[in-house]
């Protein structure tokens, strides 16, 4: 559990078929129904993970016979036929909320003594509503470690049903547990919800699974459920892939401009978390729904406000996606997830902030204001929460040096998560539309030129500084004393100036290597680059260069967005403004530090807000913060990414 995992950026669009394990929610519901049924049931597509292993151990301790085939993900369950009795039994639910909250009412309906317990994490989670509901029905429950939580001793002698009122505003699992146990109650049970339930689709899922095993629940309006006394019947059931687990891979496609498909899910899925795909589509991703599959194609991601009350397990996934959006994303309706494995709102806000994301807690959710320029690597705490580990790993697909601490916590629901993610890493795409170019963009002072030159040497590839082309035009126009607001005159210079880019920069036969880096050129180049017609002239020259030389390392401010959007590796170098100013100050003569800082702020604003080809992070680009890194370390990591793409 203590393993720290470094997530390597993929450097390109992820694609393929994601092999998603079975739904935890369906597995544990079906397993319990099969255990209580008469006869033998066969479950296919079963999830084998820590949460379901807890339920497996529990039903065996109640007397079920299991035939397990982990290779084919199947189970044969010979149930106890409702004869639920036990003597001085102890059940360890590990960290499984479904196991504990489903078993608590079921065991209370049996006969005998049992203690139900779990991990420290599970002990910290609330059980008060369910405990009180069972006491109202006549159950005897004794909290052994403190009020309203595990461990709980149950002194069971069967239960009479009747009518019970319960709020589902904190967790739908309390209600699902009562539903699953209700057929064992004498006279059945009428459940009246006193509040609007959270995660209502999980209640619908419980109803569907129980129906499959012979128990029909009648719904009266939106808040009343009538469950008859009865006997579960054995059944065969195929478990769907887990929609919550699928969300991470659909998100990976969205943020890397990739294309990922999951088989076994469709619009007709019983799982409410399938709605996450609709959120991605609303943000701009392209979604294709098949009869029994879903495919997501990444695209530019906008912002918006989303109520995730009914599919809150995807809230952390959406928060990670929001870091790469083009405008703010607000997530609401999820205040109750503060009582999950951890305070998930506070945890995700804390960890996103470590990575440079502006995230704010709200009473019922969180607000994320993305600025991809500020994204940086960090060591991520997971709080022993599998969803924290899986969601924050998504940032590492595009941000170097994201470390996931205690990454083994994914075993709770998805033991193979990281290997499945690795299996979708992009491969080399030469021979299609891809170009063997490492496209390096970024603001002034981020280290583009230094890194690009060193990377070209490391990879034994040609280097081309596209910014030097625009600077050379600025120098040529300045030598002629032109007015830079005269866009037509500047365009004419771009057409006619004799510019040679190599070890030296030569403009109209005169060496301009030093001149293009002067303070005056620094001030003028943004105006040249903002000239739409100048760009129209120079971009084809840049593309021709790459074609003539068979690829290389190209730097600038729109290489990944405009010049080579299909580059083999797209990188956006960034750094803290103060550090960029210090770098530029060391290179510039005749300016104070404050002058350099002010000039960089001005250039950032001009470059990022210009109408034509503004400076922005290319979709899917690796975002590399060089603030506190040596050049050789940056180059080493980028070279590894490029080679990985080429060898893929």
Domain-located, residue 429 = no
Tell me, what's the pLDDT at 562? Answer: 87
Assess whether 563 and 629 both reside in one domain: yes
Per-residue confidence band for 542, with pLDDT thresholds at 50, 70 and 90: confident
Assess whether 37 and 184 both reside in one domain: yes
Residues of the chain above pLDDT 70, percent: 98
User: Mapping DSSP to helix (H, G, I), strand (E, B) and coil, where does residue 191 land?
Assistant: strand
Domain-located, residue 428 = no
Cβ 569 vs Cβ 439: under 8 Å: yes
Domain-located, residue 32 = yes
Assess whether 230 and 349 both reside in one domain: no
Domain-located, residue 489 = yes
Task: Pick the last residue of a domain from 176, 210, 238.
Answer: 238
Give the active site residues: 313
Assess whether 212 and 121 both reside in one domain: yes
Tell me, what's the pLDDT at 385? Answer: 97
Tell me, what's the pLDDT at 456? Answer: 94
Assess whether 70 and 175 both reside in one domain: yes
Tell me, what's the pLDDT at 558? Answer: 86
Assess whether 118 and 198 both reside in one domain: yes
Assess whether 231 and 362 both reside in one domain: no
Tell me, what's the pLDDT at 550? Answer: 80
Assess whether 226 and 250 both reside in one domain: no
Q: What is the CATH number of the domain that holds 614?
A: 3.40.50.300
Average the pLDDT over 511-530 and give the result: 88
Quote the tokens at residue 414.
Answer: 């998805």
Domain-located, residue 560 = yes
Q: How far apart are CA 271 and CA 249, in angstroms?
A: 16
Per residue in 302-317, pLDDT tens? 999 999 999 999 999 9
Per-residue confidence band for 219, with pLDDT thresholds at 50, 70 and 90: very high
Judge whether residue 459 has pLDDT over 80.
yes
Cβ 355 vs Cβ 323: under 8 Å: yes
Query: At residue 431, what are phi and psi to the nearest 5 degrees?
Result: 100, -10
pTM beyond cutoff 0.85: yes
Average the pLDDT over 337-365 and give the result: 97
What is the signed CA dihedral for 571, 572, 573, 577, rounded to 10 degrees?
A: -170
Tell me, what's the pLDDT at 431? Answer: 44
Per residue in 67-79, pLDDT tens? 999 999 999 999 9
Average the pLDDT over 242-259 and give the result: 98
Tell me, what's the pLDDT at 429? Answer: 52
In the block, tokens 């049903």 appear at 161
| Domain limits for position 212 | 24-238
Tell me, what's the pLDDT at 434? Answer: 55
Query: At residue 438, what are phi and psi to the nearest 5 degrees?
Result: -95, 110
Q: How far apart are CA 553 and CA 474, in angstroms?
A: 23
Per-residue confidence band for 648, with pLDDT thresholds at 50, 70 and 90: low
Average the pLDDT over 515-534 and give the result: 87
- Overall domain count for the chain: 3
Q: How far apart are CA 216 and CA 587, in angstroms?
A: 77
CA 505 to chain centre: 45
Per residue in 401-437, pLDDT tens? 999 999 999 999 999 999 999 999 987 654 445 568 9
Assess whether 180 and 32 both reside in one domain: yes
Cβ 359 vs Cβ 382: under 8 Å: no
Mean pLDDT of the chain: 93
Task: Pick the last residue of a domain from 216, 238, 260.
Answer: 238
Assess whether 248 and 222 both reside in one domain: no
Domain-located, residue 430 = no
Nearest to 522 by CA among 452, 444, 409: 444
Domain-located, residue 330 = yes
Average the pLDDT over 525-538 and give the result: 88
Assess whether 362 and 230 both reside in one domain: no
Assess whether 81 and 221 both reside in one domain: yes
> Length of the chain, please?
648
Task: Pick the last residue of a domain from 392, 422, 452.
Answer: 422
Which residues touch 8 (CB under 8 Å, ≥6 apart)?
396, 641, 644
Domain-located, residue 404 = yes
User: Mapping DSSP to helix (H, G, I), strand (E, B) and coil, where does residue 514 land?
Assistant: coil
Cβ 194 vs Cβ 332: under 8 Å: no
Asked which of 33-47, 277-291, 428-442 is least confident by mean pLDDT, the reply is 428-442
Q: What is the CATH number of the domain that holds 274?
A: 3.65.10.10
In the block, tokens 């590796």 appear at 569
Quote the tokens at residue 36.
Answer: 């209580």
């Amino acid at each position: 559990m203590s393993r720290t995992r470094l997530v390597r950026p993929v450097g390109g669009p992820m694609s393929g078929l994601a092999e998603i394990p079975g739904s935890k929610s369906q597995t544990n519901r079906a397993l319990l129904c099969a255990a209580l049924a008469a006869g033998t049931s066969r479950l296919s597509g079963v999830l084998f993970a820590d949460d379901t292993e807890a339920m497996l151990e529990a039903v065996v301790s109640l007397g079920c016979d299991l035939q397990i085939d982990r290779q084919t993900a199947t189970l044969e369950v010979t149930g106890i036929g409702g004869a639920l009795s036990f003597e001085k039994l102890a059940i360890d639910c590990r960290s499984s909320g479904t196991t504990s909250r489903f078993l608590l009412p079921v065991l209370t309906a049996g006969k005998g003594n049992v203690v139900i317990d779990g991990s420290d994490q599970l002990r910290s989670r609330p059980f008060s509503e369910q405990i009180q509901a069972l006491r109202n029905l006549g159950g005897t429950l004794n909290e052994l470690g403190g009020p309203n939580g595990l461990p709980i001793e149950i002194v069971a002698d069967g239960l009479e049903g009747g009518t019970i009122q319960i709020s589902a505003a904190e967790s739908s699992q309390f209600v699902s547990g009562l539903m699953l146990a209700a057929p064992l109650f004498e006279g059945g049970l009428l459940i009246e919800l006193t509040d609007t339930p959270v995660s209502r689709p999980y209640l619908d899922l419980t109803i569907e699974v129980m129906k499959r095993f012979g128990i029909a629940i009648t719904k009266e309006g939106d808040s009343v459920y009538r469950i008859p006394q009865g006997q579960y019947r054995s059944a065969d059931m195929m478990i769907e892939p887990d929609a919550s687990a699928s969300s991470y891979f659909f998100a990976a496609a969205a943020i890397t401009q990739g294309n990922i498909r999951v088989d076994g899910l469709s619009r007709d899925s019983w799982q409410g978390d399938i709605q996450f795909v609709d959120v991605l589509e609303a943000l701009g991703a392209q979604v294709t729904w098949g009869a029994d599959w879903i495919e997501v194609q990444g695209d530019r991601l906008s912002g918006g406000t989303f109520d995730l009350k009914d599919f809150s397990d995807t809230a952390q996934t959406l928060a990670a996606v929001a870091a790469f959006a083009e405008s703010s994303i607000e997530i609401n309706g999820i205040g109750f997830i503060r009582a999950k494995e951890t305070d998930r709102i506070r945890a995700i806000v804390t960890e996103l902030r470590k990575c440079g994301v502006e995230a704010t807690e709200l009473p019922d959710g969180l607000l994320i204001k993305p600025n991809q320029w500020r994204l940086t690597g960090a060591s991520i705490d997971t709080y022993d929460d599998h969803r924290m580990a899986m969601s924050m790993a998504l940032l590492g697909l595009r941000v170097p040096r994201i470390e996931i601490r205690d990454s083994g916590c994914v075993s709770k629901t998805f033991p193979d998560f990281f290997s499945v993610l690795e299996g979708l890493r992009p491969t080399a795409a030469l021979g299609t539309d891809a170009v063997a170019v490492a496209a390096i963009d970024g603001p002034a002072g981020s280290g583009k030129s230094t890194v690009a030159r060193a990377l070209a040497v490391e990879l034994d590839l040609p280097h081309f500084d596209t910014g030097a082309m625009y600077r050379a035009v600025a120098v040529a126009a300045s030598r002629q004393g032109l007015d830079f607001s005269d866009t037509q005159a500047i365009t004419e210079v771009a057409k006619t100036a004799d510019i040679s880019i190599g070890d030296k920069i030569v403009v109209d036969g005169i060496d301009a290597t030093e001149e293009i880096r002067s303070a005056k050129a620094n001030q003028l180049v943004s105006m040249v680059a903002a000239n739409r017609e100048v760009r129209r002239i120079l971009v084809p020259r840049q593309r021709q260069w790459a074609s003539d030389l068979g690829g290389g390392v190209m730097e600038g401010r729109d290489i990944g967005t405009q010049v080579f959007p299909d580059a083999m590796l797209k990188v956006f170098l960034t750094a803290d403004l103060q550090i960029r100013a210090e770098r530029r100050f060391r290179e510039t003569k005749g300016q104070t530090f404050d002058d350099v800082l002010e000039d960089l702020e001005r250039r950032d604003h001009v470059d990022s807000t210009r109408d034509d080809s503004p400076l922005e992070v290319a979709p899917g680009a690796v975002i590399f913060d060089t603030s506190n890194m040596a050049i050789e370390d940056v180059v080493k990591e980028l070279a590894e990414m490029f080679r990985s793409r080429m060898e893929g």
